[in-house]
């Protein structure tokens, strides 16, 4: 039997990169997946790939920081799917820049998507999780939330906040059989890292004991563990997947 047989997973930021990899990994292990992305094109593309694996999929295009939209989406998801077993808060953006030059808009955009979005989706499904006395919440943070990074004060703040949020949710909901954990990816080969210069990538590799950037599938495998029966007794933790960069 597959590890996530007949479970329903909601994955935000599922249109590409890490979110897409998680959605496909979950589908390969028997889950039906709600694919949430900012654009209909991206969410539909991933949903199509999930269906190609023989699982059901739903595609939703929305801004995860829009409270009314998230509430409406959660209600529709629960009506259409009947339940939700796993929530992966992965949607994220960057608006890098030195602090002295960072605009209010760039600060707000990153905090709203990366942190508020996770709050809104978690809140929207909490009542359902509590009622069924089960649920897995997986928040995709970053090693930048653990160590900071010059030029990414907004991103670091959002990911550090997500870790604190995860631990608080774990304490609030643990007695109801609900787990909440965070993943802290290192530098993963996605659209975000594709923009890095060759020189910067070379410097990064010098800081990574495994001497390579990670792949989205590396994060998907870690997410699968946290969603699986094997992680029944794991909650409030930050699982760092970074090739040994932070230790």
Smallest CA-to-CA distance from 233 within 182, 181, 163 is with 181
Eight-state DSSP code of residue 210: T
Residues annotated catalytic, as ranges: 155
Smallest CA-to-CA distance from 4 within 242, 238, 226, 240 is with 226
CB atoms within 10 A of CB 26: 29
Find all residues with CB under 8 Å of 105, minimum gap 6, and list them. Answer: none
Quick check: 135 and 87 in contact, CB under 8 A?
yes
Smallest CA-to-CA distance from 210 within 165, 244, 160 is with 244
Smallest CA-to-CA distance from 110 within 59, 149, 53 is with 149
Quick check: 199 and 226 in contact, CB under 8 A?
no
């Amino acid at each position: 039997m597959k590890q996530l047989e007949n479970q329903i997973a909601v994955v935000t930021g599922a249109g590409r990169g890490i979110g897409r990899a998680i959605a496909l990994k979950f589908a390969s292990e028997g889950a039906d997946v709600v694919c949430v992305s900012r654009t209909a094109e991206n969410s539909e593309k991933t949903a199509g790939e999930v269906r190609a694996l023989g699982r059901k999929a739903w595609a939703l295009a929305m801004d995860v920081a829009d409270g009314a939209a998230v509430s409406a989406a959660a209600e529709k998801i629960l009506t259409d799917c009947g339940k939700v077993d796993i929530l992966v808060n992965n949607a994220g953006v960057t608006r890098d820049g030195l602090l002295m030059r960072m605009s209010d808009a760039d600060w707000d955009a990153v905090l709203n998507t990366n942190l508020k979005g996770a709050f809104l989706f978690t809140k929207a499904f909490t009542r359902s999780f509590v009622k069924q006395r089960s649920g897995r919440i997986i928040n995709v943070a970053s090693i930048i939330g653990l160590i900071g990074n010059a030029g990414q004060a907004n991103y670091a703040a959002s990911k550090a906040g997500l870790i604190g949020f995860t631990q608080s949710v774990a304490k609030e909901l643990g007695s109801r059989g609900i787990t909440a954990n965070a993943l802290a990816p290192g530098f993963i080969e996605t659209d975000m890292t594709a923009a890095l210069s060759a020189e910067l990538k070379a410097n990064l590799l010098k800081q990574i004991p495994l001497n390579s950037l990670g792949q989205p599938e590396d994060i998907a495998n870690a997410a699968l563990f946290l969603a699986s029966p094997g992680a029944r007794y794991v909650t409030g933790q930050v699982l760092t997947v970074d090739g040994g960069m932070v230790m």
